């Protein structure tokens, strides 16, 4: 089924202990759609400036992304630069953010966009997320949202009004604790579910993720990676695996949601193995399936049958 994403398309300059990339392609919608396109046809809504390289338009098209909704307007492309701490990838310093063309972005959806069944509101100004949501012809089958600390800390009202209208929300552990002012993720997830979203997905980086879906909790481990190169965009690729899986099979059963989260984990693991989409551009669908099978191998254990018990001391 049709999958639509709105988010940023950017030039990222990133330093990690493995090296540096200057003006590499990035942005939440860019990462998301490169990832989701392995699973399902994805259309991107975003904006770039006149400096955006033809090379990256081609890269998106080659990945199968529909970029009819990627506007090119006068000005410079959104730019972000940051540096990760040498001994902790969970800590990063933003060196510069230049909104540029993003500042006056007013997304306009075409008729085909408006009929998308799956919609992902990637990390961007909640005002823009709302503008997209409001243009949908019918309520999509599923709307998911991602955000970041900047919107949580300084624009909570604007953010909360979008959150009320989505089915799924992605937040990392720090974000959900800060957004809810709760220090336990079970109570924090419950708090967010009470605002509207049926499903809350808490991302824990190398520690995997947890999906809260009504009474159901599902735990997905991260695929273990020996050498993390650059975590930029990993959360977007994670969401891309999740939404790509769901719209690809158009099945929202609990088992399908679980497999979507495992697919998310797999896509996040590839994302961190290279700068920008350098690793993702080299993998095949079979590589994804191999890691999916790998995660099944790393998590399965025999259940206790109905009348079976665990070993018990005979005193």
Quick check: 171 and 194 in contact, CB under 8 A? no
Stretch that binds its own copies, among 90-98, 130-138, 156-164, 283-291 (CB under 8 A): 283-291
| Nearer of residues 111 and 300 to its own copies, judged by Cβ | 300
Q: Count residues contacting its own copies (CB under 8 A)?
A: 57
Phi-psi category of residue 23: left, alpha or beta, with phi > 0 → left and psi -120 to 50 → alpha: left
State the nearest-atom distance from the C-beta of 219 to its own copies, in Å.
4
Q: Do 169 and 178 touch, CB atoms closer than 8 A?
A: no
Q: Would you give the DSSP letter of residue 66?
A: E
Does the footprint of its own copies cover residue 296 (CB under 8 A)?
A: yes
In DSSP terms, 5 is beta-bridged to 44, 120
Contact between 314 and its own copies by CB under 8 A: the answer reads yes
The residue within the footprint of its own copies, chosen from 95, 103, 164, 224 (CB under 8 A), is 224
For 133-189, the DSSP string reads HHH-SS--SEEEEE--HHHHHH-HHHHHHHHTT-SEEEEEHHHHHHHHT-SSHHHHH
Least distance in Å: CB of 250 to its own copies?
Answer: 9
Give whichever of 63 and 100 is closer to its own copies, judged by the CB atom: 63
Site for its own copies in 35-74 (CB under 8 A): 37-42, 64
C-beta of residue 46 within 8 angstroms of C-beta of residue 27: yes
Residue 127 phi, psi dihedral angles, 5° rounding: -60, -45
* Segment interacting with its own copies (CB under 8 A) among 50-58, 142-150, 192-200, 281-289: 281-289
* In contact, 69 and 44? CB cutoff 8 Å: yes
Would you give the DSSP letter of residue 120?
A: E
The Cα–Cα gap between 50 and 293 comes to 43
**Taking CB under 8 A as the rule, does residue 112 contact its own copies?**
no
The reply to whether 226 sits near its own copies by the rule CB under 8 A is yes
Three-state DSSP class for residue 63: coil
Q: Which of 22, 53, 104, 219 binds its own copies (CB under 8 A)?
A: 219
Which of the residues 174 through 213 are near its own copies (CB under 8 A)? 183-187, 204, 207-208, 210
Q: With contacts defined by CB under 8 A, name the span among 32-40, 76-84, 192-200, 268-276 that binds its own copies.
A: 32-40
Task: Point out which residues bind its own copies (CB under 8 A).
Answer: 37-42, 64, 87, 183-187, 204, 207-208, 210, 216-219, 221, 224-228, 244-245, 248-249, 255, 258-259, 262-263, 285, 288-289, 292-293, 296-304, 309-315
């Amino acid at each position: 089924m049709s999958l639509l994403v709105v988010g940023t398309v950017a030039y990222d300059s990133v330093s990690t202990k493995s090296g540096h990339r200057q003006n590499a392609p990035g942005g939440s919608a860019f990462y998301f759609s490169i990832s989701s396109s392995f699973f399902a046809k994805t259309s991107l809504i975003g904006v770039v400036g006149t400096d955006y390289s033809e090379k990256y338009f081609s890269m998106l098209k080659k990945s199968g992304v529909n970029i009819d909704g990627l506007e090119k307007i006068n000005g410079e492309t959104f730019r972000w630069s940051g540096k990760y701490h040498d001994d902790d990838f969970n800590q990063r310093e933003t060196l510069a953010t230049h909104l540029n063309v993003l500042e006056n972005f007013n997304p306009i959806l075409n008729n085909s966009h408006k009929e998308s069944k799956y919609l992902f509101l990637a990390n961007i100004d909640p005002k823009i997320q709302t503008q997209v949501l409001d243009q949908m012809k019918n309520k999509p089958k599923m709307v998911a949202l991602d955000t970041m600390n900047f919107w949580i800390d300084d624009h909570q009202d604007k953010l909360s009004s979008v959150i009320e209208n989505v089915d799924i929300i992605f937040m990392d552990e720090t974000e959900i604790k800060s957004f809810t002012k709760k220090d336990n993720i079970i109570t924090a997830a419950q708090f967010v579910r009470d605002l509207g979203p049926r499903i809350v997905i808490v991302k824990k980086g190398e520690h995997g993720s947890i999906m809260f879906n009504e009474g159901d909790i599902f735990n997905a481990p991260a695929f273990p990676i020996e050498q993390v190169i650059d975590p930029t965009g990993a959360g977007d690729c994670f969401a891309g695996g999740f939404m790509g899986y769901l719209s690809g099979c158009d099945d929202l059963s609990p088992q399908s949601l679980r497999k979507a989260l495992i697919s998310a984990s797999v896509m996040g693991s590839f994302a961190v193995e290279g700068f920008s989409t350098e690793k993702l551009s080299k993998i095949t669908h079979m590589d994804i399936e191999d890691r999916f099978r790998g995660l099944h191998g790393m998590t399965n254990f025999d259940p206790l049958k109905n009348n079976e018990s665990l070993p018990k001391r005979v005193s």
